[in-house]
Structure 1
Amino acid sequence: MTDTLIHQAQAHARGREVLLHEPAGGDPDKLTLVKARGSLVWDEAGKEYIDCTAQAWSNNLGANDPRVIEAAIEQTRRITHARPTFHTPALLELAELLVSIAPDGLDRVGFTLHGSMAVEMALKLALRNRPDARHVAVLHDAYHGRSITTMAASWPHPGNAFGVLQPQFLRLPRPDLYRPRPGLTADQDTEMTLRIVRDILTKGTEGPVAALIYEPIQGNGGHNGFSARWHHGIREICDELGIMLIIDEVQTGLGRTGSMWASDHYGIEPDVLVFGKGVGGGFPLAGVLAKNRFAAFLPGDDQLTFGQFPISVAAGLAAVRAIIDDGLCDRAAAHGEYATERLREMQTRHPLIGDVRSPGLMVSIELVRDRVTKEPATTEAHAVFELAQERGVIFGESRYAGLGNLIKVKPPLDISRDHLATALDVLDEVLTEVEKTAGTRTGELS
């Protein structure tokens, strides 16, 4: 090893020790990535991996797409920073493009740099439009970010030390398609939950509710989906009570579900839609789309120094155009059908698979130790994740707050069918290995 490489290795080791977000001594299992292209990433040892996380579900368009990189480089040559009291050409062009592809009725757009701040932008709009309101409603198992405010809007954070600074949100129950309330079918659970939600919003609060925010498919909360009846029922309740409906599509937007927006896929009619992750082509970018009658900020309500970073905006403009030009919504739908079919076939052979979830490339499996009791297989899920990574496939998992029994298959939307097939082959293999020692009981498919 050369002196340069030795020095680099020492610097990396020291870096792991001093990072604020690392466990003491660093995380020996965390990869150091040095290159990415499309659906592939490489670590510092040169090992190649199929990335089925799209790097926190952000690379809807494959990593380092040349169109995005060239747009960012060109913007860098022109202007790298403009305060929010000025516009740039890319900002105006992206604004026009996003409104043109937004769900019907969403005709205004605002930008920021990450999903948490975009959610806060939406909450500000809600409170600005209903200043007499005293509540914002969220769902059980929600996830809306990691800022002080959005952590409070999310499902409980174990050992939360930040409550003294956090606002209080009105928490509403949600139906569970996989684990409906005892004695109820999934449809009955949905109807009962809608009745409970209406009762809480009308009888269980002091003062008006400004907004209800929820994810069309709960991401970090367990990839929990909802029926069309739920979405339409919530819209009816919000209309009845004058509540702004905010749909958080940070994870589901820009083609992930096989439609440009999950709101399109499910026929939801949001008053405000939050977007992020996939919009930036790998650069930090997020924002909101809103109905014109709700777009009512006063000067200074929502301005961040780098809130409309020109390089991110230019990259986002190129990324969204590429998603449209390459037909990635249709491609995600086709890949999702293939992956779901493969996983349902595996479910007949692997008792660990309790449930298979989609649509599009918002794909996951819930692992259980017993299909009758549906006991979460948390240890087994992490073993699947680790074995797959050793074999060159990075799946998503969900360990936070004990929700460690999901394996997520959410690669870039333009992953090749060969790479997707290989990733699923590896998943099949490691499930077999884990089941040999897991003692999983087969039960019946529910």
Structure 2
Amino acid sequence: MSSSFRAPLNPSSDEIDLIALCHTLWRQKKLIVLVIALAGLIAAAYAFLATPEYQVSSVLRPAAINELDALNRSDVYNLPPGEALLRVGASLESYDTRLGFFRANQKLFEAFVRPGRTLEQSFEEFNRKSIDLVLPDPKKADSLSAYIKLQMNYPKGVDGVSILNGFIDYAIGIERQQIAADLSVIVKNRLNELNAKMLAARASYDTDKEAKIASLTESDVMRRAQLRDELKALRAQLKTQRMDRMAQLNESIGIAKSLGIRKPSTPSSLGDSDRSGASSTIRTEINNQAIPQYFMGFEALEAERSALLQRKSDDFTEGRIAQIAKELQLLESNRQIEVLNSRENEDIFLSGVEPIRTEEARLRNLNIDMSRLKLVAIDKQALEPLSPIFPKKPLVIGAGLIIGLVLGVILVLFRESLINRRGVFAARKPSPVAPAAVEEESRTAKVA
């Protein structure tokens, strides 16, 4: 600040005469004291009349491992304590979460609502100026564990403790609901996946069952066809054998008639038949050659031929035909196919589904009480502050007194400067009565 005031100079130097300056300030001490008192009064009035501003804070730390054990042991959702703390911190910092709490508790924020502003605009001012999230500095290792600090500044008349504690509970509740929703979706997806595996197992079972039934049916059809073919071949064979036998009989009958063999005989007896009058004898004939058929006599042979001509079926002559008939009758109905088709609960026959059923039963009976799930540990809750952070009354009054002192000194110096300037102008003005005296005074002023 420049001024035309000139303090008395020491004749031996160009420096300001501090003694003269101090005398000048001492002469105007009342004015300085008055300015100091006025500034102190204004500062005191501001300190006592300004709306006090308070600050509350709360500190969150990771929850104990046992608090999340039920969730982590479910093998569905894994949430370490550190990650849970970060998720809650992200929720506390979320604009949407803060706005939701602001809307749900409008009575607590009445002091922040201004006429002519929307609810969102009032919240924007509160969110920008009043609440702050503090995280530990990763470069500093002075903290023994991770933490999240939430602090809030609020004016007098606002229940800041309820707002901060309520907001933390609200954010934890929102995150708990989100975890519950995520858990529900994961369990539902896993159940759908297990259901798809069960459907695949049922489809595989149905395919195997149908393939087995088709295989058994095909095997039965093939076996019946083979048995029928064998039966047909056997009957044809038996018929051929009967016809061959009849041809042999016809031939033997003709030979027997030509030899006159009516009754069964032997070659030796045929040779003795020409001897007459001989006594009857008993002969034993040992011969390792087959006796020709015509020795049976044409009567026996004709009887056999007649029987063969009257025969309508040759089936009784072959035991295999009865066996084939038995097998064909057994093939009329496949009991294994009937049992497969008569199964009522086919799920018990599914293979490899025991782990699926076990996991499905475990997931359906999974019961985690999310309301008791403790995501974070509240290390320090917000408490009613003992004193405001603004204004600091001693600091404000002290600053006012110092400012008053500076203003008083400046005012005194400025007043003295004006007085000296007025005296210089009066000395330079010419006087008609004593021009010589005025000139001398002007010269003296110039020297000064």
Alignment TM class, shorter chain as reference: under 0.3
Query: Which of these two proteins has the greater Rg computed from alpha carbons?
Result: 2
Q: Which structure carries more strand by proportion?
A: 1
Higher relative contact order (CA 8 A, sep 6+): 2
TM-score (norm 2): 0.14
Is the helix fraction higher in 1 or 2?
A: 2
TM-score, normalised with respect to structure 1: 0.14
